[in-house]
Amino acid sequence: MDITLYRTEVQNWIRSIFECRGVDTEATIRYCNDLETYGRKIKDDGLIGFACFSRGEAYYLSNEMREFYREMISCLPPLERTGEWGLVAQANNMLGIMSLNRGNAPFAMDYYIKAISICHQHHLLDFEWIVHMNIATLYLNIEDYQKALHHANRGYEYLKGHSDMPEYVESLTVAYLDMGKAYLSIGEMNKAEEYLYKLKTECLAHINEMSKLPVYCLMAHFYQLRNDREKRDEIIQKIESLDCKDIPIMDMFDDVHDYLAMLLENQKYREFLKMLGDIEVITKKTSVKYLEQKLLTLRLLYYRKMGEVDLYRQHSVHFFELSELLERENRMMISSMIMMRNSLNDLALINKEVERENQVLHRRSETDALTGMNNRFKLNDYADDAFENAYRKKTPLAVEILDIDYFKQYNDNYGHQAGDTCIKDVADIIKSLISYGNIFCARYGGDEFVIVYEGYSEQEILGMAEELKRKVEEKNIKHAYSMTSDKVTISQGICWGIPDDVARLFDFLHQADIMLYRVKEESRNGMRLGYIDHANESNEEKTNRII
């Protein structure tokens, strides 16, 4: 948002929001209210969306989750209409955190994938790594530790090259924590100890007291598993010395919950009750019944251990009441998610200059206006039939995602008209594949394209992909701003396999997208085609086939 376009009073409101965020919640909300009122008066979606987003962020930091959820849902439509994609990605990411803390990992993943998709389309690498870290947390939550390590490493790889970024050490702490937890969970104690050492030597002295809490929780677990009670108890004492009354509970709940469970298991009842009481107060403020229920479960376990029958029965009634409230909360989430899916699938593809009355017609169209190719809506319809057919007949199917290397630099330097021409030229080359038969092509958004191949062998797929890459390069479209060549090139990620009874378009797209991401990392070495066999996705030999 270019705030210089607004009058001085509006600029001051926006500056005040940035200055007060995370420091003074009441002041932040007051300035957001003023900004939204003015934005609605002049019908400016950018100001309205920014005000709602910033107000939601303030509620998030103060653990007021009901208000946070309302604001984040409200901010998305105006931000999308004005193309503020960085804020849209952040909002989806925070809604993902909220969904995970409400106990709904599938909804959380929906939000995270939407955020990743926006980052890909709009080249937001400086935020995409954060989403990968949160996806790592999700996989830790559902005990898929290998995938947790994969996403944590993607975030860490970005961080390593950006040590000058703001709050670098805080971000590094999160990466080390996720990797340490994953290795600890799979029993690789030496690797876990390696990340604990990094946390001690690189992070602890440079982070605030609140941020130390999850680090100490991990250390306590490590020493407990090592049966080093002396060091474990030293860490427990350090945790007791921290003021836990104002921690951002949504970011630390799992760490604290696991730590409380460890205290209870090891009969550290005094420490358990003190911390449980503090955390219950914070959690109640969030109005997230799932978190309240998880803490109440620990309290019930304590009463059972201590033989407190009356208290056990009394709190069991409250547990039942929470279960009913949780069911109601989940119904609300499902309703909101359905609304969000419909909204996001439509709005993200509509250019902000298109008049509102044409949006319905645009959504119904199955053809991309610029290239004449199928669009992503047609892709969804086609893919369902293609996957069903391949599954029924046990025939192979492949999905390829490709994009134009350094297209943003091309667009920025040669102009949008030249950028559109470049996209059309590449699209025409892709469409030439249709002549082989049983090949479907679609523009996925921006400079990204998807190709679905039906019934072809691995060798045939790789051959056609190589042909496509060669034809684009032979077009000799000048690109002086590319880091890989002096002409336009493409990067490709491919997933091939025979669909099983659970695989659908998303699974193949996700694996192809992973390969495309890895290809981008290797692109300076001239490697721009990545291939993975869906049936052998965990096989290192397969996943490393970058050509």
Task: Using the predicted structure, report yes or no on whether residue 476 has a pLDDT greater than 90.
Answer: yes
| DSSP strand pairing (448-454 vs 397-404) | antiparallel
Strand 439-445, strand 448-454: pairing: antiparallel
Percentage of the chain modeled with pLDDT above 70: 85
The DSSP secondary-structure symbol of 144 reads -
Question: Where do the domains of the chain lie?
Answer: 376-546
Q: What average pLDDT does range 2-14 have in this prediction?
A: 80
Q: How large is the average pLDDT for residues 242-267?
A: 86
Cα-based angle 1, 32, 284 (whole degrees, multiple of 5): 120
Give the integer Cα–Cα distance in Å for 52 and 437: 49
- Tell me the whole-structure pTM to 2 decimals: 0.56
Backbone φ, ψ for residue 528 (5° rounding): -135, 20
Residue 32 CA to residue 68 CA, distance in Å, equals: 13
What angle do helix axes 85-101 and 249-265 make, rounded to 10 degrees? Answer: 20
- H helical segments located in 287-415: 289-306, 309-347, 359-364, 376-393, 407-414
- pLDDT beyond 70 at 547: no
Two tokens, residue 383: 């893919």
- Three-class SS of residue 443? strand
Residue-wise DSSP of 290-324 = HHHHHHHHHHHHHHHHHT-HHHHHHHHHHHHHHHH
Specify the higher pLDDT residue, 367 or 412: 412
pLDDT at 544: 39
**Residue 2 reports pLDDT greater than 70:** no
**SS3 call for 331:** helix
Residues 6+ apart with CB under 8 A from 296: 315, 318, 319, 322
CATH class as words, domain 376-546: alpha beta
- Predicted pLDDT of residue 161: 85
Q: Is the dihedral of CA 115, 116, 118, 119 positive or negative?
A: positive
Q: Is 286 helix (H, G, I), strand (E, B) or coil?
A: helix
Please report the pLDDT score of residue 545 as a whole number.
Answer: 45
pLDDT over 90 at 386, yes or no: no
Residue 524 pLDDT: 55
Tokens representing 153?
Answer: 């490493």
Question: Which of 2-16, 203-217, 336-350, 480-494 has the lowest average pLDDT?
Answer: 336-350
When pLDDT is averaged across residues 339-344 and rounded to a whole number, the result is 46
Strand order in the sheet with 439-445: 439-445, 448-454, 397-404, 490-497, 529-533, 545-546
Evaluate if residue 47 carries a pLDDT over 70: yes
Task: Let me know: does 444 contact 399? Beta carbons within 8 Å.
Answer: no
DSSP line for 74-116: HHHHHHHHTT-HHHHHHHHHHHHHHHHHTT-HHHHHHHHHHHH
pLDDT at residue 527 tops 60: no
Query: How high is the mean pLDDT of the chain?
Result: 83
Q: What are 51-109's pLDDT values in tens digits?
A: 999 999 999 888 787 888 889 989 999 999 999 999 999 999 999 988 888 777 888 88
CA distance 30 to 19: 13
Q: Are 254 and 141 in contact (CB under 8 A)?
A: yes
Amino acid code (one letter) for 131: V
Report pLDDT for 340: 45
Highest-pLDDT range among 95-109, 417-431, 507-521: 417-431
Burial class (CB in 10 A: 0-12, 13-18, 19+), 541: exposed
Helix (H) or strand (E) holding 16: helix 8-20
Backbone angles phi, psi at 375, to 5 degrees: -105, -175
pLDDT band, residue 487 (cuts 50/70/90): very high
Query: Can you tell me whether residue 530 is helix, strand or coil?
Result: strand
Max Cα-Cα span within the chain: 80
Q: Average of pLDDT values for 330-348?
A: 48
Burial class (CB in 10 A: 0-12, 13-18, 19+), 73: middle
Give the span between the Cα atoms of 495 and 461, in whole angstroms: 10
Q: Which helix H or strand E contains 449, and what residues bound it? A: strand 448-454
CA distance 351 to 433: 28
Is the Cβ–Cβ distance between 495 and 508 less than 8 Å? yes
Query: Is residue 34 within 8 Å of 42, Cβ to Cβ?
Result: no
> Which among 120, 102, 130, 62 is positioned nearest to 337, based on CA atoms?
102
The contacts found for 250-253 with CB under 8 angstroms, 24 or more apart, are 250/60, 250/63, 250/65, 250/97, 250/98, 250/101, 250/286, 251/97, 252/213, 252/214, 253/101, 253/283, 253/291, 253/294
